[in-house]
Amino acid sequence: MKFTLSWLKDHLDTTASLGEITDTLTRLGLEVDGVEDPAAELAPFTIAYVKSAVQHPNADRLRVCIVDTGRGEVQVVCGAPNARTGMKGVFAPAGSYIPGTKVDLKAGTIRGEASNGMLVSERELGLSDEHDGIIDLPEDAPLGASFAAWRGLDDPVIEIGLTPDRADCAGIRGIARDLAAAGLGMLRPLDETPVAGSFKTDLTVDLDFPPDAAAACPMFAARVFRGVKNGPSPAWLQARLKAIGLRPISVLVDITNFFTFDRNRPLHVFDQAKVKGGLKLRLAKGGEALAALNDKTYTLGAGATVIEDDTGPLSLGGIMGGASTGVSDETTEVILEAALFDPVRTAMTGRALGINSDARYRFERGVDPAAVIAGMEQATRMILELCGGEASQLVVAGREPDWRRTLTLRPARVESLGGLDVPRDRQVAILSGLGFGVTDGADGLIQAAVPSWRGDVQGEADLVEEVLRVNGYDAIPAVPLPKLTSLTQPALSPSQKARELVRRTLAARGLDEAVTWSFMDGRDAALFGFQNTGLKLLNPIASDLDTMRPSVLPNLIRAAGRNAARGLPDAALFEIGPAYRDATETGQAMVAAVVRAGGSGPRHWV
């Protein structure tokens, strides 16, 4: 999960430094995988003014430039065709590291003229592949200022390793909420005021699922927009998406991507002019085809959640939209979708089709069931602001599932389970900061109403974990494990000792130890006389690893063959590992196998 510091501060009112934020994230269990700070790499580069650019006396394609850096004048030899008197560019002083070319810039003499720095291109700064000329800045660019700050490249990008249980932190607001609960600022409020639709649409939405599959999509909300103008997104939106590795497409699509990462609220837009009739959600029959937005066509298996119109499937619910109703620059009427999709069904469909999308990533972990309408309203305001037009009244099918639950926390359990005595008031403050509805129970117990976005919190131990992680995992003391007996126990079992003895004996005889798969090709097993179909794997990792090995020898022979094919015909290999007779608990044996091939040693002249 990636986000920029400025994007985080849209949700978190804080004065904390970048270092304090990253340290706190790791203490919260949101481990920081990396921080990209372009400002640090681009710190030496400043905005400069070219006072003069004259022809180099000894080179036709070079110019000698006198550059005002805002701190003095320096002479630079430049080969860019667009270098000219009176322009503003980006200056790199001698001693700078040029990230695009990965060289350290040194002062020197070029064809008899001193050069004490350089004027750089976008490729030399690593900003793009543009290298036909140096960067040409507008006249009002401030002389001597940091180029990174002026260009808006001083926004660090933070990447965290998100565990599957923390679906709420697949949105930047969830991360900001955790930091606020840890005392690193205040969570900014969101505007969730409903948008009054200016017209009533005739769009219909039908949830057509059998009773035992109603959870495939318990709630679906749609809104029609007309008179919108699609096209490139504003610069601020494009910059945010680019910073986290997304390619801006158009303002309508970029808005849906923004809310996917900003609020963990995946959305989708259909070009209404391409939709024939109403929308119906159902389970795929199996064998239906869908041309998706990633320019691939998928054959849908039975049970996938599809959204269709009168012509057939338009979209794969919770995973990816279809190309037939994708928006373009000519789109003026759109349907905005906000829905809930079953995590398990979404994951199974995505795996079966091999589709990894940002929507699937979030739906299979579980999105906030109470944020369907709120996400719709917030996205509506942004569409009206950036695209114009007018919005219809909401069309809602299904209802919000029952997610409400209240858990009881015994304050003493924090110490007994976590090994740290956290005062009761501190426990209450932490849970309240995370959005739990906390009330006092009998006998000092804490009653915590779980918020809708925390589907992972199901019991008292989860509440203990919340208290411990926000208080700081680093505050938990390191305690050695208790001694359960006064007598030391042997480190190795008899079977482990026997295995080590055999390993040393075979190695002493000049054999090299190999470690091969515990699987093998069923055809190889048949060649060795093994026909036990009970050893066949239902879900092999590869077609040639479809059987649990009944013998180690075939794998060793294969290894010897691969070595011979690469110029090493003299093989002396052994392996100690399991072989499988059948699929029962007692059907596994630990065996040692040896293969020798070729000569026993190198040839000698004697």
| 100 contact partners, CB below 8 Å, separation of at least 6 | 120, 121, 122, 123, 124, 125, 126, 127
Instruction: Provide the edge-to-edge strand list for the sheet that holds 73-78.
Output: 73-78, 63-68, 46-55, 88-93, 117-119
Q: Does 305 share its domain with 215?
A: yes
pLDDT at position 93: 94
CB 177 within 8 A of CB 171: no
pLDDT at position 168: 94
Q: Does 166 share its domain with 230?
A: no
Question: At 344, which helix (H) or strand (E)?
Answer: helix 343-353
Question: Quick count: other Cβ atoms within 10 Å of Cβ 400?
Answer: 15
Is residue 197 in a domain?
Answer: no
Mean of pLDDT values over 429-438? 96
Q: CA angle, corner 553, sides to 574 and 593, nearest 5?
A: 35
pLDDT, tens digit, 9 for 90 and up, residues 578-589:
999 887 878 889
Q: Is the pLDDT of residue 379 over 70?
A: yes
CATH number, domain containing residue 221: 3.50.40.10
Residue type, 294: N
Mean of pLDDT values over 128-154? 88
Token pair listed for 5:
């510091």
pLDDT at position 284: 94
Q: Is the pLDDT of residue 132 over 90?
A: no
pLDDT, tens digit, 9 for 90 and up, residues 501-517:
999 999 999 999 999 99
Q: Does 498 share its domain with 580?
A: yes
Is residue 192 in a domain?
Answer: no
Q: Does 245 share its domain with 326?
A: yes
Q: What is the pTM of this model?
A: 0.74
Q: Is the pLDDT of residue 317 over 80?
A: yes
- C-alpha 562/C-alpha 377 separation (Å) is 62
Token pair listed for 586:
């007692």
Question: At 294, which helix (H) or strand (E)?
Answer: none
CATH number, domain containing residue 83: 2.40.50.140
Residue 606 binned pLDDT confidence (cut-offs 50, 70, 90):
low
Q: Does 285 share its domain with 237?
A: yes
| 601 contact partners, CB below 8 Å, separation of at least 6 | 570
Q: Does 389 share its domain with 262?
A: yes
pLDDT at position 605: 74
Q: Is the pLDDT of residue 142 over 90?
A: yes
Question: Quick count: other Cβ atoms within 10 Å of Cβ 480?
Answer: 5
Residue type, 104: D
CATH number, domain containing residue 24: 3.30.56.10
CB 4 within 8 A of CB 244: yes
Mean of pLDDT values over 435-440? 95
- Sheet strands (E) in 320-366: 320-321, 333-340
Is residue 488 in a domain?
Answer: no
- C-alpha 393/C-alpha 223 separation (Å) is 7
Residue 111 binned pLDDT confidence (cut-offs 50, 70, 90):
very high
Q: Which among 291, 23, 71 is positioned nearest to 182, based on CA atoms?
A: 23
CATH number, domain containing residue 581: 3.30.930.10
Q: Does 378 share its domain with 283?
A: yes
pLDDT at position 528: 85
Q: Which among 262, 230, 231 is positioned nearest to 244, based on CA atoms?
A: 262
Positive or negative torsion for Cα 211, 216, 221, 223 = negative
Q: CA angle, corner 367, sides to 362 and 373, nearest 5?
A: 125
Q: Is the pLDDT of residue 532 over 80?
A: no
The domain boundary, picked from 398, 418, 451, lies at: 398
Is residue 359 in a domain?
Answer: yes
Q: Does 14 share its domain with 128?
A: no
CA-to-CA separations, 220 to 280, 327, 336, 340, in angstroms, rounded:
10, 20, 11, 7
CB 41 within 8 A of CB 84: no
Q: Does 78 share its domain with 9?
A: no
pLDDT at position 316: 95
The domain boundary, picked from 351, 373, 398, lies at: 398
Is residue 480 in a domain?
Answer: no
Residue 527 binned pLDDT confidence (cut-offs 50, 70, 90):
confident
Is residue 286 in a domain?
Answer: yes
Q: Is the pLDDT of residue 346 over 80?
A: yes
pLDDT at position 530: 83
Is residue 200 in a domain?
Answer: no
Residue 100 binned pLDDT confidence (cut-offs 50, 70, 90):
confident
Split into its structural domains, the chain has a count of 5
Range of 543's domain? Answer: 494-597
Q: Is the pLDDT of residue 6 over 90?
A: yes
CA-to-CA separations, 166 to 26, 430, 453, in angstroms, rounded:
14, 17, 9
Q: Does 47 share its domain with 91?
A: yes
pLDDT at position 470: 95
pLDDT at position 235: 87
Residue type, 80: A
Residue 64 binned pLDDT confidence (cut-offs 50, 70, 90):
very high
Percent of the chain with pLDDT over 70: 99
Positive or negative torsion for Cα 199, 200, 202, 206 = positive
Mean pLDDT across the chain: 92
Q: Does 321 share its domain with 383?
A: yes
Mean of pLDDT values over 357-386? 95
Q: Is the pLDDT of residue 206 over 70?
A: yes
pLDDT, tens digit, 9 for 90 and up, residues 11-39:
999 999 999 999 999 999 999 999 988 77
Using left for φ > 0, alpha for ψ between -120 and 50, and beta otherwise, residue 169 falls in alpha
Mean of pLDDT values over 369-375? 95
Is residue 603 in a domain?
Answer: no
Q: Does 442 share its domain with 297?
A: no
Percent of the chain with pLDDT over 90: 79
pLDDT, tens digit, 9 for 90 and up, residues 245-301:
899 999 999 999 999 999 999 999 999 999 999 999 999 998 999 999 999 999 999
- The values of phi and psi at residue 314, to 5°, are -110, -25
